[in-house]
Amino acid sequence: MKALVYTGTNKIDFREEKDPILKSGECLIKVKASGICGSDMHAYHGKDERRIPPLILGHEISGTCLEGLFKGKDVVVNPLISCGICNYCKINEEHLCPKRTMIGMSTPIKREGGLAELVSVPSSNIFEVPKKLSIKEAALAEPAAVALHAVLLAEKNLKKPLSESKILIQGAGAIGLLCGLLLNTFKKSTNIIMSDPNKKRLDECAKYLKANFVNPDDKSIKENNFDLILESVGLEVTRLQAIKSISPGGTIVHIGLTQPSGTFDFKKLTIQEITLVGTYCYTANEFLKAIEILMEKKLGNLGWIEYRDLKKGSEAFQEIHNGTCVAPKIILEP
């Protein structure tokens, strides 16, 4: 099969790879669509110890099942694999399972990802694509579930309704945009500022999202000014801006994983009783809810997705790296 393989820092090669060996309890999927995630970019930059080259990246996957339980069906993949027996799994918090792994990751065991013509996935992580949902758009279920989980955590921790909150979304990538669309649609939130240094990407998001769109240096991002900040970037500089800009008693939901550490104003966090919430992935129920939201077209026109041939994937990674990519989400098609 052909695959897009992460071979080293800032290196992605489109090349021939061995077909996956189908294991008991798994399905062999002919990939129709596979998105490039921010975590794939972290690996590309050599910043993710969980993804070791050579590795086929990609975990936002939809396709047609060739062999296994769903043979002949169009399916979408929940890439988060949990043990199913620990206390977290028993209470439907599978994303916190200490033995969790993911498609397109090297640890704790290596599982090749979906930026390829074929991928093998446990049957328990596969869902049939509803008839009303495009198989290509179904690949958006994974990032939509990430955003849904983040918004629900924000709502759980805020001291006022989301509809009454002043909100800053840092980052105009797919997660930031999806968070904004969920806030617009389900929480009636329109008092939103979205910041990103990529003006072309902001302009693209402005076609779909009700918000104000600014550069991170804009004067509208004031100190002590926001009830909620969704930090979808994960840089030291964005975290510092978040803690500076959050109002007393406000909530920061930290989604991004770009830099794992750095300085932070813990004094303000403490004396102004700021709530800092880490968020990772989603529960299985939230993944199913994301499929439902996409099926019902609740997020509106998805014209902000750009589809490209898998063989041109290395160019897409380079554009995202350079900050010249306009589309908040690129989905590759083998």
Q: Tell me the mean pLDDT in the region 154-169.
A: 97
Query: What residue numbers bound the domain in which 328 lies?
Result: 2-140+302-333
> Does residue 130 share a domain with residue 115?
yes
Please report, rounded to a whole number, the percentage of residues in the chain having pLDDT higher than 70.
Answer: 100
Q: Which of 61, 146, 51 is nearest to 108 (CA)?
A: 51
> Does residue 168 share a domain with residue 99?
no
Please report, rounded to a whole number, the percentage of residues in the chain having pLDDT higher than 90.
Answer: 97
The pLDDT confidence band at residue 310, using thresholds 50, 70 and 90, is: very high
> Does residue 323 share a domain with residue 207?
no
The pLDDT confidence band at residue 156, using thresholds 50, 70 and 90, is: very high
Q: What is the pLDDT of residue 63?
A: 98
CATH of the domain at 212: 3.40.50.720
Reported as a single tens digit per residue, the pLDDT across 60-101 is 999 999 999 999 999 999 999 999 999 999 999 999 999 999
CA separation for the pair 292, 11 (Å, rounded): 36
Q: What is the pLDDT of residue 69?
A: 96
> Does residue 10 share a domain with residue 131?
yes
- Residue 71: enclosing H or E segment and its boundaries? none
* Ranges assigned E (strand) in 68-220: 74-77, 80-81, 101-102, 118-122, 126-128, 167-170, 192-195, 212-214
Q: Angle at Cα 148 formed by Cα 143 and Cα 149, nearest 5°?
A: 100
- Whether 195 is in a domain gets the answer yes
Reported as a single tens digit per residue, the pLDDT across 236-282 is 999 999 999 999 999 999 999 999 999 999 999 999 999 999 999 99
Q: What is the pTM of this model?
A: 0.97
Number of domains in the chain: 2
Q: Which of 190, 299, 329, 169 is nearest to 245 (CA)?
A: 169
- Whether 294 is in a domain gets the answer no
CATH of the domain at 16: 3.90.180.10
10 Å Cβ neighbour count for 242? 25
> Does residue 130 share a domain with residue 77?
yes
Q: Which two tokens stand for residue 220?
A: 């509208």
> Does residue 274 share a domain with residue 148?
yes
The pLDDT confidence band at residue 284, using thresholds 50, 70 and 90, is: very high
